[in-house]
Structure 1
Amino acid sequence: MFWFLISGVLVILVYYVFVNPFNYWERKGVPQDRIWKIWLETVLVIIQYRPFHETLKRAYDNFPEMRYGGVYQLFTPMLLIRDPELIKQITVKDFEHFIDHFHFFPTNDEPLWEKNLFLLKGEKWREMRTTLSPSFTSSKMKLMFGLINDCAKQFVKYYEEQNENVIQLEMKDTFTRYANDVIATSAFGVTCDSIRNRDNEFYLNGKIAADFGEGIKGMLKFVIATLSPKLANKLGLKLTKRESSMFFTNVIKSNIKSREQNGIIRPDMIHLLLEARKGKLKYEELESIPKEKLTDEDIAAQAFIFFLAGFDSVATLMYFVAYELAVHPDIQVKLQLEIDNILNNSNGSLTYENLSSMKYMDMVLSETLRKWPNAFFLDRVCVKPYTIPPVREGEKPVYLEKGDTIQIPLFGIHYDPEYFPEPERFDPERFSDENKSKINPYVYLPFGSGPRICIGSRFALMETKMVFSYLLAKFDIVVTEKTPIPLKLSRSKLSLDNDEGFWMGLQLRKESTETL
């Protein structure tokens, strides 16, 4: 009798621990895989059997001809959305039901994370977005143009001074250093030269801040945080190491103090945020003026998330642009012709206006963002009950509860041949004036969608276009013996990366524009 009871308890325990959590979508009438297959995929994710983007693409392909399907991100149920019209409905039309992002990691006692725009929720997010929006308009980007222009020129000049025919570089490290300098000067008011001064404090702390853990150790940290946020807190697991957080917080606070005491005005993000705190920015076409003024901690948190996006995400865009240009020299030549024409007509210097006029540059960057979206997927959390009505034959209403999470897998949608024929092929012509109008805006989402779209997209594109304009005016980006062809993404890293490095060469052009 005793063993019978023990067996019964074990069966019940196994059901509630290993089976019941993975029946979530089936109970709601949503198509999902069998439990054994869900467990298999979960284990494969944990042991990092394949690159994470491939897992997302497989999940997307697993529900052909369907508008949605039930998936599980580690142990969190998520409703995978595949239909463009439903994406529009959730991220735009019914945004009030899906205003928040999902928190993959507890951020208690981490003010730089708790207070930044990306992770703020509800009304706090709305107020911060309202406060920050005027800082990211075209007119404000023009104010920071000169700072970025100086960084790009400094970057290219260094390699010109090497006076070598071909300079072999690991492009992830190279562009991360450039991105570090851009963000340091434009967001923190700190001037760096990370190419020459390779171990400067700002760059080293940036690397620490952007390191969320790699391999099995990094994955286990996220598994623990997903299963038990309380345990993660007890174990002291943090998104960012304390010394790095303190460094960035202190840099911002001391910078603010110095400016306010000495009346220093510099055309950068700190200045714009201080103006926002004083209520001096225009709130045109916004719902309301923020009720609370920005604190020093608020400003530090926004500068920090802006830094991380630039240090990691924008640098990722840059080294994938470099890779695609190196392996597609015909596309590179066409882009160089556009750059040469503009620089030759403006005495070798860029302006905000002529940079914005580069159509083929826009096409190259757009196709890179399609093929290599830095965000693996978009997520939204349902904040109040919502019903997805049936549209197609066989569908039933899907009743979403508060706390249910939506997943929009970019690596599935961006590689769907229905929307992008031959998706593995790099083809900037997809985004020509003639063709881009045919692309449904809800199948191309590199910066997100709706009110929570990336606020810094203008800035990211500006600094990327600027560095490639100056770089390609002087150099060809070429394949070397160390260039990984074909490119294989890492299974052990939680970002778009590979294990061999992005090695390419800078070869001096025989004919180029005048010296920068």
Structure 2
Amino acid sequence: MFFLAFVTLLVAVASLIWYAHHKQMNYFKTQGFLHEKPHWLFGNCSGIGTSKHFLHIYKEYYEKFKHKAPVVGFYLFFKASVFVMDLDLINQILIKDFHNFSSRGFYFNEEKDPLSAHLFSLEGERWKKLRSKMTQAFTSGKMKIMFSSVQDISNQYVKALTKALDDSSVVDIKDWNLRYMTDVIGSLILGIDCQSLADPEAEFRLLMTKLFLNKKITNPIDGFIMGYPNISKKFNVRITPREIEDFIVQAISQTLSYRKKYGVKCKDFLSILMNLKDENCLDENGNETPSFTDIQIAAQAHLFFFAGYESSSSAMTFALFELSQHPHIQEKLRQEINSVMKAHGEELSYEVMNKMTLLSMVLKGSILEF
């Protein structure tokens, strides 16, 4: 009797689970949304962990539906999501209706994974207060302050690359751009000299290579975290590799301590964050926001390093490739740079660079429109 009751209960539970799963995976069908039939386990994310990165999946999905509907259904594993295709609708969501969509649903765990609690992942009032404080770090005046530091590293880049070309007529320009950005962002954001241009085997350079270049597909755990951030938080899942966290937290802590002790003033992003740490500011409602902690500074530094490392080096590489394929534009760009520099006494500055209109077009990707 007990066995029969147990089997009946088991069948009932299994039936309920199957029904809930079936209903969930048919949500877009019942709602009349255009979508691709989902895999019973991976949804529309088949290939995760075996052959594809999330970027591959998103690109393929976009290419398949981009001219068919402004919004299509997308299953992030079992989670029903929407894939927005229309630029006007994206603008509506992100700007005009932002008050309804301020929570982005990204994973963060400030206690167990402190570097994950940055501006990109926080939500609600905490995000608003942090944004209010961080806005002060991105004025044109602040960008001008950091320009000379970037220029110094750029000069080092030119010298190192010139020396490499003396030894060989062939170089891996993407690798050189990655090393350059490692030194630029490491200096401006972490306040350290990463020495990547001088030594391709430098410690932080190797950490970045391991984290970015060796990761060709998305780990299934990363996919689960993206799809179910709240569940992941309950299990204290980490998204920041321990060695990266240890390096960044230690570097930030030591640099902040040294600068505060000896009154060191530097023209970098970290100094701007230090100044914000010591000041309270007002949010949109006129309420004071609390000062930064060292860990919060490290989290923001971590975000901006990752945001600028791969994207900036890739933009540089693609721009150089396009220039190599269009030598007439390359020559016009060279003439513009020489002309503007000559008109300003061969002194490069933030203001002088902004006068180079063709250079701006190249960096914005509108090179072929010229």
Q: Same fold (TM over 0.5)?
A: yes
Q: Normalising to structure 2: TM-score of the pair?
A: 0.84
| SS of match in other structure, 2:170 | strand
* One-letter amino acid matched to 1:153: N
Deviates more, 1:229-238 or 1:89-98: 229-238
Structure with greater proportional strand content:
1
Deviates more, 1:240-249 or 1:59-68: 59-68
| SS of match in other structure, 1:42 | coil
Query: What is residue 428 of structure 1 aligned with on the other side?
Result: 367
Q: CA distance change for structure 1 residues 269 and 39 in 2, over 3 Å: closer, same or farther?
A: closer
Query: Is the 1:45–1:74 Cα contact (8 Å) retained in structure 2?
Result: no
Query: What is residue 244 of structure 1 aligned with on the other side?
Result: 244
Q: Distance in 1 between matches of 2:55 and 2:175?
A: 22
Query: What is residue 93 of structure 1 aligned with on the other side?
Result: 96
Query: What is residue 147 of structure 1 aligned with on the other side?
Result: 149
**Residue correspondence of structure 1 range 120-199 to structure 2 within 5 A:** 120-162=122-164, 164=166, 167-199=169-201
**Residue correspondence of structure 1 range 65-464 to structure 2 within 5 A:** 65-103=68-106, 109-114=112-117, 116-162=118-164, 164=166, 167-208=169-210, 210=212, 213-215=215-217, 218-226=218-226, 238-279=238-279, 288=286, 290-367=288-365, 428-430=367-369
Q: CA-to-partner distance for each residue in 1:321-356, whole Å, 9 max, x for gaps?
A: 223223333332332222222233344441111111
Structure with greater proportional helix content:
2
Q: What RMSD in Å do the two structures reach over aligned CA positions?
A: 3.4
Q: CA distance change for structure 1 residues 261 and 209 in 2, over 3 Å: closer, same or farther?
A: farther
Q: CA-to-partner distance for each residue in 1:269-292, whole Å, 9 max, x for gaps?
A: 1211121123288x7x96646421
Q: CA distance change for structure 1 residues 211 and 31 in 2, over 3 Å: closer, same or farther?
A: same
Q: CA-to-partner distance for each residue in 1:378-430, whole Å, 9 max, x for gaps?
A: xxxxxxxxxxxxxxxxxxxxxxxxxxxxxxxxxxxxxxxxxxxxxxxxx5254
Query: What is residue 23 of structure 1 aligned with on the other side?
Result: 26
Q: Distance in 2 between matches of 1:38 and 1:250?
A: 41
Give structure 1 stretches of 5+ with no counterpart. 368-426, 433-516
Query: Is the 2:43–2:76 Cα contact (8 Å) retained in structure 1?
Result: no
* One-letter amino acid matched to 1:82: M
Q: Distance in 2 between matches of 1:250 and 1:12?
A: 50
Q: How far does residue 149 in structure 1 lie from its aligned partner after superposition?
A: 0.2
Query: Is the 1:130–1:289 Cα contact (8 Å) retained in structure 2?
Result: no
| SS of match in other structure, 1:69 | strand
Query: What is residue 391 of structure 1 aligned with on the other side?
Result: none
Give structure 2 stretches of 5+ with no counterpart. none
Query: Is the 1:68–1:83 Cα contact (8 Å) retained in structure 2?
Result: yes
Q: How far does residue 193 in structure 1 lie from its aligned partner after superposition?
A: 2.9
Q: Distance in 2 between matches of 1:93 and 1:231?
A: 31
Q: Distance in 1 between matches of 2:54 and 2:292?
A: 40
Q: Distance in 1 between matches of 2:163 and 2:180?
A: 17
Q: CA distance change for structure 1 residues 139 and 130 in 2, over 3 Å: closer, same or farther?
A: same
* One-letter amino acid matched to 1:317: A
* One-letter amino acid matched to 1:113: S
Q: How far does residue 167 in structure 1 lie from its aligned partner after superposition?
A: 3.2
Q: How far does residue 220 in structure 1 lie from its aligned partner after superposition?
A: 1.9
| Equivalences, count | 364
Query: Is the 2:190–2:270 Cα contact (8 Å) retained in structure 1?
Result: yes
Q: How far does residue 313 in structure 1 lie from its aligned partner after superposition?
A: 2.2
Q: Distance in 2 between matches of 1:50 and 1:247?
A: 26
Q: CA-to-partner distance for each residue in 1:422-467, whole Å, 9 max, x for gaps?
A: xxxxx5254x7xxxxxxxxxxxxxxxxxxxxxxxxxxxxxxxxxxx
Q: How far does residue 160 in structure 1 lie from its aligned partner after superposition?
A: 2.2
What percentage of residue pairs aligned between the two structures are identical?
26
Q: CA distance change for structure 1 residues 60 and 22 in 2, over 3 Å: closer, same or farther?
A: farther
